Amino acid sequence: MKIIKFLIINTLCLFVMGKSHPLQAQNKREAKAHNKVLKLMGSRFEVTAVSENDSLAWQAINAAIDEITRIERLISSWDTKSQTSAVNRQAGIKAVQVDEELFRLIARSLKVSKLTDGAFDISFASIDKIWKFDGSMEKMPHEDKIAASVAKINYENILLNEDKKTVFLRKQGMKIGFGAIGKGYAANRAKQVMQALGIKAGLVNAGGDLTAWGQQADGKNWRIAIADPNDKTKVLAWLAIKNTAIVTSGDYERFVTFDGKRYAHIINPRTGYPTTGIKSVTIVCPDAEIGDALATSVFVLGEKAGLSLINQLKGVECLIITDENEVKTSENLELNYL
């Protein structure tokens, strides 16, 4: 394990470098990058299609946006009309039939829960009224309130019936939410939709959950910069990628501080308290959804157990920035430091 120490006072962020060459005045049409930035799922999304065919590229970008919007309607736990909200309303009462797509997403979420021994748990959401990470919290919630809510968190109480495609939350007051996996899933689907339309290269950045395929318009690999948290305009390290996802879960915008201790926006399902010790986790792996879920899991597991898990997973790498501003990486992460 490599340990590199940096003094970090600002934030870590990812950005993509490299622009396509402008279309040159010649008969042969050259591929160029078409790009749209917009707010979806409450986050900043960026959708890029590389193609020599302008109308195809825009058709694909719009199809990707429609797909993300559709997914949001299905999985949002804020939207009272979503199937997820219907499942939550019937907690402790009855099983609810859902679309195959939502059923499978829940089944995959439960797999991650098993893999991480419950660090990742979509039923964390029964506590989401207690903790607020928008700057509105002035004091620590009462421990009785936390204890009452944490009793409702347990992925083993999410019961799936494969034949009937139903979901039953066993305890009253239970609630599921896809905040830690939904954007990764949406990024994957947006990519698939664009590929199905014939886009050979592109990039989807779903609020820090980024997936890229093919190469940039100039034929080079995508170069993803990890910015120096001391100074966002400086690059800490580079990752040159072709077909992979890079997912960052960071608490720098959403955290609370009580008695000088920093609490991240991710809940430890065992304690009901937000996690401490880590500022940011970046996962590199082929699949944005898995990367998304694992980034959140590493926050809960903490630096040591988190890296140990990632080092056991083939094709998955990780970079952690701790509260002490140390940068720690998994065994095989290949970064180009500047």
Residues near ligand AMP, by CB under 6 A: 120-122, 124, 177, 179-180, 249, 265-267, 269, 292, 295-296, 300
Partner interacting with residue 263 (select from ligand AMP, Mg ion, none; CB below 5-8 Å by kind)? none
For 81, other C-beta atoms within 10 Å of its C-beta total 8
Task: Tell the residue number behind the tokens 């009785």, with chain if given.
Answer: 144
Partner interacting with residue 131 (select from Mg ion, ligand AMP, none; CB below 5-8 Å by kind)? none
Is 88 or 249 the residue whose CB approaches Mg ion more closely?
Answer: 249
From candidates 84, 113, 216, 296, binder to Mg ion by CB under 5 A: 296
Is 33 or 294 the residue whose CB approaches Mg ion more closely?
Answer: 294
Sign of the CA dihedral running 152, 155, 161, 167: positive
Chain centroid, CA 314 distance in Å: 19
CA 77/CA 268 separation, integer angstroms? 19
Residue 180 touching Mg ion (CB under 5 A): yes
CA 101/CA 94 separation, integer angstroms? 20
| Shortest distance, position 325 Cβ to ligand AMP, whole Å | 19
| Shortest distance, position 122 Cβ to ligand AMP, whole Å | 6
Structure tokens at 256: 């609370």
Residue 295 touching Mg ion (CB under 5 A): yes
Residue 310 touching Mg ion (CB under 5 A): no
Q: Which bin fits 165, alpha (ψ -120 to 50), beta or left (φ > 0)?
A: left
| Size of residue set near Mg ion by CB under 5 A | 5
Partner interacting with residue 96 (select from Mg ion, ligand AMP, none; CB below 5-8 Å by kind)? none
Chain centroid, CA 271 distance in Å: 22
Chain centroid, CA 292 distance in Å: 3
| Shortest distance, position 55 Cβ to ligand AMP, whole Å | 34
Q: Which bin fits 38, alpha (ψ -120 to 50), beta or left (φ > 0)?
A: beta
Is 151 or 196 the residue whose CB approaches ligand AMP more closely?
Answer: 151
| Shortest distance, position 165 Cβ to Mg ion, whole Å | 25
Is 251 or 292 the residue whose CB approaches Mg ion more closely?
Answer: 292
Give ∠ CA 185-334-182 in degrees, rounded to 5.
10
User: Using CB under 5 A as the criterion, which residues of the chain lie in contact with Mg ion when the complex forms?
Assistant: 180, 249, 292, 295-296
